[in-house]
Amino acid sequence: MKVLVPIKRVVDYNVKVRVKPDNSGVDLNNVKMSVNPFCEIGIEEAVRLKEAGTATEVIAVAVGTTASQEQLRTCLALGADRAILVETEHDAQPLGIAKALAAIQAKEEAGLVIFGKQSIDSDNGQTGQMFAALTGMAQATFASEVKIEDGKAAVIREIDGGLQTLSITLPAVVTTDLRLNEPRYASLPNIMKAKKKPLDVMTPDELGVDLAPTMEVLSVEAPAERQAGIRVESVEELVEKLKTEAKVIE
């Protein structure tokens, strides 16, 4: 069984994001970029399935600029067998990405497609669901546990107030939640081996898809600065301030 794992190049989660002076977007100059953390969880889960003998091949896929090859090489170092880049200079958006991935899936016929549940930049949480709709594949989102057996996937997913267990028939789509696993670090030998693993580059035209943006960002603003809190010496002082200053209790 092939496992396809779409990944995204995003600003590293340790970086404090800066907004451009003209509010047209996020300033990416000299900013460290990484694999989206939820996508890393997807790669880790796919590699674990291969190590368990359930999967035969792990394929990492990205839709983006040439620079995304760096993140695909990271995925290869983490255990993916090969990588595919759908190269575009457009600001790829969820529907366009889902269409490109659906075209890749038509060629690869993967038994399982593992998405991160969302990216930490646009935070849309849409691509996996759109991909499932386009391909007609069963889907289980926000997975905290995945087991493959007898042509089906048993997925435990987190919902408000508890857990839900789904049984879906393969081929299927799963989106990862934080508690699914903890991604490994790439070792130096695996980083060196990743340089020799295959990375294919395709264009949207070759796949017959249009990645032109359908939405326009009008303005990006940093969140308002929050005032610093204060320390109080006792519960009595806290209650008094809530009454007289904050006026949230009587």
**SS3 of 95-147:** HHHHHHHHHHHHHHCCCEEEEECCCCCCCCCCHHHHHHHHHCCEEEEEEEEEE
C-beta separation of 127 from 97 below 8 A: yes
Task: Please give the pLDDT value at position 212.
Answer: 87
The amino acid occupying position 198 is P
C-alpha to C-alpha distances, 128 to 139, 169, 185, 231, nearest whole angstrom:
8, 17, 25, 45
Please report the pLDDT score of residue 228 as a whole number.
Answer: 84
The answer to whether domain 2-244 has CATH 3.40.50.620 is: yes
Of the candidates 101, 153, 149, 106, the residue with the CA atom closest to the CA atom of residue 127: 101
pLDDT at 215: 86
Q: What is the pLDDT along the chain (250 residues), one digit of tens a residue?
A: 999 999 999 999 999 888 999 988 888 888 999 999 999 999 999 999 999 999 999 999 999 999 999 999 999 999 999 999 999 988 889 999 999 999 999 999 999 999 999 999 988 999 999 999 999 999 999 999 999 999 999 999 988 888 999 999 999 999 999 999 999 999 999 999 999 999 999 999 999 999 988 888 889 888 888 888 888 899 999 998 888 887 888 7
Answer whether 19's CB lies under 8 Å from 220's CB: yes
Give ∠ CA 51-53-59 in degrees, rounded to 5.
65
CA angle 25, 65, 17 (to 5 degrees): 30
DSSP secondary structure letters along 1-53: -EEEEEE-EEE-TTSPP-B-TTSSSB--TT--EEE-HHHHHHHHHHHHHHHTT
Q: What number of residues does the chain have?
A: 250
pLDDT of res. 245: 84
Gap between the Cα atoms of 72 and 7, Å rounded:
8
Q: How far is CA 212 from CA 16, 97, 191, in A?
A: 29, 10, 34
pLDDT score, position 161: 85
Residue 221, φ and ψ in degrees, nearest 5: -130, 145
Joined tokens for residue 32: 């460290």
Q: Which residues contact 73 (CB under 8 A, 6 or more apart)?
A: 83, 194, 195, 199
